């Protein structure tokens, strides 16, 4: 049973590491999305601060770039949703592994307690048997003295 528990503990560690990796990727992707959105906002604000002549010259180019950026952000949002689904699946798997580990630990403890009770019973039986042997010997000694 200990080997099964050891394997389960190893699986738990691997599942935690996998979940941590997915969470790390989620955080990195989320940070990248926020950074790109802030950059797009600052470009739009910069466009608003330009003179009309400069704005007209750069507006179409900037709008095309922002449309491409919006599409890239949308793709990243889809990836983020997919990563969140993966994290939920890994979380559910981790919960199952932890439940199995807890069950195995409880069973191991119960088996140990049962073993300890059996050892106690065997020791008690041995002590009772030794007492009975001593008692029988003590009963035989007075009989031998009377017959002698």
Mean pLDDT of all residues in the chain? 89
Angle at 117 between CA 113 and CA 123, to 5 degrees: 145
Residue 47 pLDDT: 77
Q: Give the start-to-end residue ranges of the domains of the chain.
A: 2-105
Q: Which residue has the higher pLDDT, 60 or 25?
A: 25
Expressed in percent and rounded to 5, the helix, strand and coil fractions of the chain are 95, 0, 5
What percent of the chain is modeled with pLDDT above 90?
61
Token pair for 123: 């020791």
Residue 63 pLDDT: 86
Residue 141 has pLDDT above 80, yes or no: no
Q: Quick: pLDDT tens for 105-135.
A: 999 999 999 999 999 999 999 998 988 888 8
DSSP state at residue 49 = T
Residue 148 pLDDT: 53
Residue 146 has pLDDT above 70, yes or no: no
What percent of the chain is modeled with pLDDT above 70?
95
Pick the CATH number of 2-105 from 3.30.70, 1.20.1070, 1.10.287, 1.10.3470: 1.10.287
User: Over the range 10-20, which residues count as b (16 or more CB within 10 Å of their CB) and which as e?
Assistant: ebbeebeebbe
| Band (56; pLDDT cuts 50, 70, 90) | confident
Inter-residue contact 93 to 8 (CB < 8 Å): no
Residue 89 has pLDDT above 60, yes or no: yes
The mean pLDDT value for 97-112 works out to 94
Q: Quick: pLDDT tens for 66-79.
A: 999 999 999 999 99
Q: Tokens 């003179």 map to which residue?
A: 51
DSSP 3-state of 19: helix
pTM for the predicted model, two decimal places = 0.68
| Band (12; pLDDT cuts 50, 70, 90) | very high
């Amino acid at each position: 049973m200990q080997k099964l528990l050891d394997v389960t503990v190893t699986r738990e560690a691997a599942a935690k590491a996998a979940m941590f990796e997915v969470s790390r990727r989620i955080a990195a992707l989320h940070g990248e999305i926020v950074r790109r959105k802030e950059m797009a906002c600052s470009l739009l604000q910069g466009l608003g601060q330009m003179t009309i002549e400069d704005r007209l010259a750069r507006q179409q180019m900037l709008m095309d770039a922002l449309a491409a950026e919006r599409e890239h952000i949308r793709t990243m949002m889809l990836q983020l949703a997919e990563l969140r689904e993966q994290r939920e699946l890994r979380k559910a798997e981790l919960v199952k592994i932890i439940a199995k580990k807890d069950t195995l630990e409880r069973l191991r403890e119960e088996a140990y307690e049962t073993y300890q009770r059996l050892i106690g019973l065997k020791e008690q039986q041995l002590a009772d048997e030794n007492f009975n042997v001593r008692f029988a010997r003590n009963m035989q000694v007075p009989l031998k003295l009377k017959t002698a």
